[in-house]
Amino acid sequence: MFTRIDHVGIAVRDLEKSIVWYQTMFGLTVVAQEINEEQSVHEAMLLVDDGPQGGSHVQLLEPTRQDSPVGKYLARHGEGMHHIAYGVDDVEAAIATMATSGIRVLDRKPRHGAMNSRIAFMHPKDTGGVLTELVQAVKH
């Protein structure tokens, strides 16, 4: 069902500082950066490795508002791992499969994700405490 680990989302307080850190310390490369107004985050995708099904990335997330989900996460937990995202070929089909299995999908219609992907989040209470995202990447 899943083609890869598309990314691991990491909540950070200062995106620019964290980007420089990941570039310098881990040698990762920024492949996209954008503000996602809907999710109230300023985000950057850093490539770990590319593959035939799409890449695996670290996604750094700085909230644009303190009362956003990532803002609240930072206030509660501090910086750290926020979610895991799996690549799928067909996000609508994956949403339907998850919903049929009894998992609450927070986005019944896919939302806009990084790099023009189409994404959906599932309720972490239904996925063992792990906020989990489905990602259909743009084919390249």
- Interface residue list for a second copy (CB under 8 A): 1-5, 8, 10, 12, 18, 21, 24-28, 48-49, 51, 53, 56, 77-81, 83-84, 86, 98, 101, 103, 124, 127-130
Q: Could you tell me the sign of the dihedral formed by the alpha carbons of 90, 9, 54, 118, in that order?
A: positive
DSSP 65-112: STTSHHHHHHHHH-SEEEEEEEE-S-HHHHHHHHHHTTPPBS-SSPEE
**Greatest C-alpha distance within the chain:** 44
Catalytic residues: 7, 43, 59, 83, 133
- Supply the minimum distance, in Å, between the C-beta of residue 105 and a second copy: 12
For a second copy, the closer of residues 38 and 101 by Cβ is 101
Strand partners, 25: none
- Supply the minimum distance, in Å, between the C-beta of residue 20 and a second copy: 12
For a second copy, the closer of residues 21 and 64 by Cβ is 21
